[in-house]
Amino acid sequence: MDASLLSPHLLPDDQLTRENCKEYLSRFLAWLHARFDAGDNIIELVATRSEYMDELLTRLWQKFGFDKTGLTLIAVGGYGRGELHPHSDIDLLILYEGDELDEVLGLRIGEFITLLWDLKLEVGQSVRNVSECIEQGRADITVATNLIEARYITGRLAGFEQLQAATQPQHFWPSEEFFRAKREEQSLRHQQFLGTAYKLEPDLKSNPGGLRDIQTLAWVARRHFGATTLFEMTSHGFLNRAEYRELLDCQNFLWKVRFALHMAINKGDNRLLFDRQRTVAQMLGFEGEGNGPVEQMMKRFYQTVRRVAELNEMLLQLFDEAILGNTAMDVRRISDEFQLRGRLIDAVDSELFGRDPAAILRLFYQIAQHPEIVGIHSATLRQLREARRTLSCWLQDLPECRRLFMALLRHPGGIGQPLTLMHKYGILAAYLPQWNLIVGQMQFDMFHAYTVDEHTHRLLQNIHRFANPASRQTHPLCHEVFTQLRKPELLSIAALFHDIAKGRRGDHSELGAVDALEFCQLHGLDRYESRLVAWLVRHHLLMSVTAQRRDIYDPEVVSDFAQKVRDELHLDLLYCLTVADICATNDTLWNDWKGTLLRELYFATQKALRQGLENPPDMRLKIRENQRQARQILAQREVPEEAVNALWSDFKADYFLRHSPEQIAWHSRKILKHGDNPAPLVLIGKQPTRGGSEVFIYCRDTPNLFATVASALDQKNLNIHDAQIMSSHSGYVLDTFIVLEPTGDPISPNRTATIKKALEKALQEPGKLVLRSKPLSRRHRQFSVPTRVVFLPHKGPNQREARHTLLELTALDTPGLLARIGAVFQQCGLSLHAAKITTIGERVEDFFSLTTLAGEPLTLAEQQALEERLVNQLNPQPPGEEGDEGSDNGLSGRRISF
């Protein structure tokens, strides 16, 4: 169907009713959808809606009789540029003559705007005379920009011409001031996104490298040169034809995504949220299984915004010179090939990189040598872009490039600013073929906050910061370990390759290890160094998994980890890599709890390695030492030794092994003071324990006790991260839970009393479970995580059969999950001895140590029965349930863990 057949100009005046206009708008929107699905040119579709809206507004303007007044209807904003997506705002300026608007005319304008709202149009309007427009525009750069790109629709033409005359540069926002203001506006907007274009839920307009960055270039060019299109910029020497085509290609792709997004959600929101990405990807024709279409679309999106950001930076530099005249006067040579223009590095020869590709690496080595350099000059950046596109081989294939790349990695400043710029300008992708594959590679989950390449870049920056004395405040052990490394470049190479195989079929750690080994051999590392780097890549998750999902107070766990680590060099490198990796994965991921776990595992392993793996520690000696120190603390508090001995005779040996002397003394003193009181004893530590708050419970053991505690803590919006479940000989529990607030901090002091009271009340009714009535967040509803139960092989000391059964459970993170898991354990007649709770985005990976009520490990039949019950109880409901649209953090009352 031709769009003209849907035009309101076909309606006679008496049929230009609200209902008919609604019908025509609905049919036109359906036509737009159909033409988009058919693959029509996106530029024509966006322009067609603008033209259609011109026709409708002109007819309605005439119906209201405004054509017989001194009013002028003007399009501003995107509508002023003639760019309207399906639900874009229709920004209007109604210009009136004189100093004041006639009251009756004002009422009619109100009726006109109300009709547009009734038609479900997203209208933004202002009613002003020319002097008010100029006054508002001078005070606000956004208003000024709208006025500069204003477009006449209908009404008194002289009014529009008067406005145009008043907004000429000689009267209103000269191009120099306009450029400074728009550049500052862009900088502030980028800061809101933490300066990165690689967030996993981007804003198509405001994201760095998004549509606003293209519009900023167009606004500045229009103000200074009078260029009304991107193409006109080519005639002023600021954009060559290839760059114009690239910028236009980027704009068209972003427009297609925006057009599809508006159609998918039926409103004018530009945020590409998780729950929208799958639908938009399908509408754009991306195909594949599972999350494939989303990941393909987002990869192209991130590659597009990187190209836009690069062109934006280059052109704003050129504008800075042309408009403000900021050509650096302090030009000085720093080598035969490079010079500094102010604080920007510039190639002396305009054809240097095309003639000698190794000069590209020399450029970045010079940046490492001169820390005062903050960036690359626009002329050199353009040359770099052109050389990158015409390379006939990977840079790593050239021996001189390999030598320079290793020199860069070995330089103290090499993985700082130089590597950041190599990542930003696509040189890492031109150097490493494997890196080229992960540029823009996203993972459709709630755990990884950045694309794979951006995550790896951030990891390398974290490692670079370990050398800075300031890192003693945040990562003291990393600073100490890193500064003692003899060859820190081995850590950098491992970091470079740790996730480089993401997106390929197979285990990315194994595939990455193969790539790392080949890289090391190609770059001249010896056999030992190459194998060490490959080991780090293969096992880069080992320490985080062990610390957060295993019982690191079990000597066998530490011994097993130490045997895999082999020596202290492997341990040092793995520790630094692990900390940097966690901190680079998600902005909210690192906390004191993780830091404490990793440090304790590091020191326990270091001690095991120094004692020799053939000499495991004598646990009886540790128990006696913990008891001796606890007695000293209790004696200082004048607690009778006889009472302590009587109490401790009821405790099992594991209790003294898994608690510090300070904890043992604290528990003992409070239990003795509690005496024969039948009420449960609940203690909440005033000082953080291992980065979290310790909750200690002493009471008679009852069925469902773990589920009861989990439910009560969930009701108080606390997240359990660790649990030691123990019982005394006489049937009392001595349970310790490490909990954190949703912020990742210990319990807020002003909440301690209410939490203690809630736990005491819940423990008096242990069979009564109260699950938080909270639906899945909009993010969680996009994921289906089947419940998976794995029983881990485990041997006790001296390779004898273990006393406990170890279970690892993967499931969708849902409110009240731990309470439901605890209830299943109770239904199956099982005792829980320890738990490690880990949430990875939308899924949990929890670890439990279990026995039967008789204290025996589970038989094969009992394991099968437990697995079946857990799967049946926990498997997620199909996506699409109603949920809390306002809950965007995706935590569901649990803390994201690594």
* Exposed / middle / buried, residue 369 (Cβ in 10 Å: 0-12, 13-18, 19+): middle
C-alpha angle 6/8/9, rounded to 5°?
Answer: 110
**Spatial separation of the C-alpha atoms in residues 126 and 94, rounded to whole Å:** 6
pLDDT for residue 813: 82
Q: How many CB atoms lie within 10 A of CB 785?
A: 20
**Spatial separation of the C-alpha atoms in residues 517 and 81, rounded to whole Å:** 54
Bridge partners (DSSP) of residue 128 are: 95
pLDDT for residue 838: 80
**Spatial separation of the C-alpha atoms in residues 562 and 568, rounded to whole Å:** 9
What is the pairing mode between strands 681-684 and 843-852?
unpaired
Look up residue 675 and give its DSSP letter.
Answer: T
pLDDT for residue 703: 75
**Spatial separation of the C-alpha atoms in residues 839 and 841, rounded to whole Å:** 6
What is the pairing mode between strands 830-836 and 843-852?
antiparallel
The torsion of the CA quartet 327, 328, 331, 336, rounded to 10 degrees, works out to -60
End-to-end CA distance of the chain: 54
Six-digit token string for 641: 């030794």
**Spatial separation of the C-alpha atoms in residues 753 and 329, rounded to whole Å:** 66
Q: Summarize pLDDT for 253-305 with one digit per residue, the tens.
A: 999 999 999 999 999 999 998 889 999 999 999 998 888 899 999 999 999 99
Distance of CA 274 to the CA centre of its chain: 12
Q: Are 281 and 295 in contact (CB under 8 A)?
A: no
Six-digit token string for 552: 């690191």
Q: List, for the chain, all residue ranges whose pLDDT scores fall below the cut of 50.
A: 1, 796-799, 878-898
Bridge partners (DSSP) of residue 884 are: 777
Distance of CA 11 to the CA centre of its chain: 51
What is the total residue count of the chain?
898
Six-digit token string for 292: 């494939």
Q: How many CB atoms lie within 10 A of CB 159?
A: 21
pLDDT for residue 224: 86
Closest to 855 measured CA to CA, from 803, 796, 800? 803
pLDDT for residue 758: 92
**Spatial separation of the C-alpha atoms in residues 719 and 785, rounded to whole Å:** 20
Closest to 543 measured CA to CA, from 562, 528, 556, 530? 562
**Spatial separation of the C-alpha atoms in residues 141 and 162, rounded to whole Å:** 20
Q: How many CB atoms lie within 10 A of CB 703?
A: 15
pLDDT for residue 668: 95
The torsion of the CA quartet 414, 420, 426, 430, rounded to 10 degrees, works out to 20
**Spatial separation of the C-alpha atoms in residues 245 and 549, rounded to whole Å:** 51
* Exposed / middle / buried, residue 34 (Cβ in 10 Å: 0-12, 13-18, 19+): exposed
- Residue 484: C-alpha distances to residues 467, 477, 487, 572, 826 (Å): 10, 11, 9, 10, 51
* Exposed / middle / buried, residue 845 (Cβ in 10 Å: 0-12, 13-18, 19+): buried
0.75 exceeded by pTM: yes
**Spatial separation of the C-alpha atoms in residues 133 and 95, rounded to whole Å:** 9
SS3 (DSSP) at 205:
coil
Give start and end residues of each alpha helix (H) in 266-416. Answer: 274-283, 292-324, 352-355, 358-369, 378-390, 399-410
Q: Are 808 and 872 in contact (CB under 8 A)?
A: no
pLDDT for residue 768: 64
Q: How many CB atoms lie within 10 A of CB 206?
A: 17
Six-digit token string for 713: 């803590």
**Spatial separation of the C-alpha atoms in residues 713 and 711, rounded to whole Å:** 6
DSSP 459-521: HHHHHHHHTSGGGGTT-HHHHHHHTT-S-THHHHHHHHHTTTTTTSSS-HHHHHHHHHHHHHH
Q: Are 536 and 494 in contact (CB under 8 A)?
A: yes
Bridge partners (DSSP) of residue 683 are: 696
Six-digit token string for 863: 């394991």
Contact residues for 782 (Cβ-Cβ < 8 A; gap 6+): 274, 275, 278, 842, 879
Phi, psi dihedral angles at 123 (to 5 degrees)? -100, 130
**Spatial separation of the C-alpha atoms in residues 712 and 135, rounded to whole Å:** 59
| Helix 292-324, helix 211-225: angle, nearest 10 | 20
HSE, CB side, 13 Å, CA atoms: give it for residue 602: 21
SS3 (DSSP) at 258:
helix
Bridge partners (DSSP) of residue 805 are: 850
Six-digit token string for 379: 């002329």
Residue with tokens 């901090």: 745
